[in-house]
Structures are given as C-alpha cells and as structure tokens.
A = this chain, B = another copy of it.
Amino acid sequence: MKRKPLSEDSILRKILASCRASPSGGRVSPSIALCIGDDAALFRPKPGYETVLTCDWFLEGTHFLRDKHPPDSVGWKCLARAVSDVAAMGGTPKCFLLSLALPASLTGRWFDDFLVGLRRASRKFQCALAGGDTTRRDEVLINVTVIGEVKAGRAVFRSGAQAGDVIYVSGRLGEAELGLQVLKRSKRLASRNDPLTRKHLYPEPRIALGQWLAKNRLASSMMDLSDGLSSDLPRLCAASSVGARLEIAKIPRVRIPKYASSQQTDSTRLALHGGDDYELLFSLPPHKLHLVPARFRGVPLTSIGIITGKRELVILDESGSKRQLVASGWDPFRERSPRLATRSPDNCSI
C-alpha cells in the first residue's frame, strides 16, 4: 500500500525521534546543550580542546544511486564520510547537523530506512544529531556538518610531513572501489550482507586510530583516503612541500575473489586509484617507527614508501623500475558526465 507523503512536521518529528535515542540509548551527549528545535544548536566545548569542523555533500546521482544504494547505506555513509575528516585530524566526533532535501514520494519507507542507517552510524561513531534543515526537492540532496574536538595543539595536519618520514596506510586499499564496480554491474539494490560491497556501502572511519596517532604525537602528517591514493598523496605532499617514493609491492590491496573479477578489476589499479576507502594515510618520523604496531585494533598498518625532499611523486614497481605517479583525480568540473563515475567522483574539500 502506498503511503501518503509525510508533512514537514512529521519528517522533523521522525528525525527528532531518531536523534533522541542517539548516540547512546536515550541520552544525548552532555556536550550538546540544546538538541534541535531552536534556531541553532549549542555545543559546549571542553576546556583545553579545539573544535574540529567539516562538511560533506552526499548527492543522489553524484555520490549514490537511488536504484543501487540501499537507503540505510545512504544514511550511514553520509555521516561516515564527514566523520572520517574529523578522524583524519586526530579528532573525536561529537555531533552533527543534517541538511536533507527529499522528494515527497520518498518520505515513507525510503526515509524510514535512511534514518535506520543514520542512527546506526550516529551510535557507532558516538556522534549525536544536533540540528539541521529540511526541504523538498526532486532528488535527494544531503549535506552533513560534523563537529568534533581535539586537545589543543594535538590535531594532525596534512602539512607536517618531512623528508625521511615513512608513509603508512591503514587497512587494504581498493576495497570500496571493487564494491562500487560490483554494485554497478548488479541489476538491483545491493544487499547489506554482501562482503564485496560492504566497504563501499558502510565505510568505517578510523576514529580510534586517528585519535591514538594524534594523542601520542606519532604521525607528522595525516589525511583520509577519500579520492584514492594517487589523488590524495599528492595533496598531502603539496601541503607539506615534499615529495614521495612509493613501493608498489608494499601497498596493501583488495583481495578479489575469482567470481568478482573482470577486466576492470586489477587490484593494483584499484589500490592506487580507487576512492571511498576512508582509510588513513599518514607519515611517521623514523625514530617513532618502533612505536607503531603491525595492526591497530585488528586493522593492518602498512608502510608503503618514504617522504622525500624532492618535490616529485615516484613509484617503484615490482621490477624496481621507477615511474612518475600520475594523479588520476576526478575533476567534477572537467568530466562530461556529472554522474557517479566508476572511480568515485568525489567532491573536493576546500
């Protein structure tokens, strides 16, 4: 039975009901003085901490497809992406603002499922809904602002890498990109339980790892991998005025089951250029290497190369021969189609 579109008030009540129960069973974070319903939200900063601020688009057709991405993954991922930016500074997410524009026809089941995913993410990341803005639109438009905190002076920037530092990544790269390829080949909505698409649909920002690296002053620079290593490493190097030499054999990469392989699924290419992994890319001064374990809470940490003083990006392949690393960054303003690219057409943080 088709349900009547909800009124805006009912939409707000639903979001509120979802909020009240997050992030931890009925209690809203004590740092949020006023949760929702007023002109603005109040956040009570912890003395001695700085506030981390980030926002992220998540747009139908650009970042997700309504006929492929389950609504709960849209709810999860719109928050996870923004939380990952806070993790990449070494911060702790605290609360978020949700801006949501929705067609009237999606205010029923789709919206319910969206809220299920959003609420799960909000609980998992301990990041409470603090406010937002809703309106109607023909396509689903989402913008999420996440507010986090980090002890004053402990945030890790992109700009701190120095020649001689060792370059690390967390996890295995290319998994989300493989998931996107599988999703695009499939004719229906993705299943929540398919391990191949899981990382693309429900990414897990590396919050605890980022905090640990920042708290112990280990990483000299850090960022999250949202557009792919070949696009993001040049950004870190540019911010730090350094270069890098990567060893391709060392890059931890997605394992591709036979049944999922195709002409496009080369694990090295996926690991180098695939987006949406939300793993952390960071550099470590050589005298701190012994402090970093091979795994952090089950997530592998792998050294993949070295920061150099020469402002070029070099990659050593398996045979030991050198070539330039070509950033295969997706520029939404140059591509002909603004639609979801196979390599994630990520927007760009200012």
A-side residues, CB < 8 A to B, are 5-9, 11-12, 15-16, 33-34, 36-45, 47, 49-57, 59, 62, 84-86, 88-89, 91, 95, 97-99, 101-102, 104, 107, 129-138, 141, 143, 145-148, 150, 152, 155, 157-159, 223-224, 239, 331-335, 338, 345, 347-350
Contact = CB atoms under 8 A, between A and B. Distances in A.
Nearest to A138: B338
A158 B130 CA distance: 16
Contacts of A51: 42-45, 51, 147
15 contacts: A8-B333, A12-B348, A40-B54, A40-B89, A41-B53, A44-B50, A53-B147, A55-B143, A59-B135, A59-B141, A62-B135, A107-B333, A133-B143, A135-B345, A136-B338
B89 A136 contact: no
A227 B18 CA distance: 25
Closest A-B pairs by Cβ, 5 of them:
A135-B347, A136-B332, A40-B54, A45-B45, A143-B143
A40 B350 contact: no
Contacts of A42: 50-53, 89, 150, 155
A289 B158 CA distance: 54
Given A16-B350, A333-B5, A348-B135, A54 B33 contact: no
Given A7-B333, A59-B135, A136-B338, 17 more contacts: A5-B334, A8-B332, A33-B50, A38-B89, A38-B223, A39-B84, A40-B89, A42-B53, A43-B50, A45-B49, A55-B133, A57-B99, A59-B137, A98-B350, A132-B349, A133-B143, A134-B350
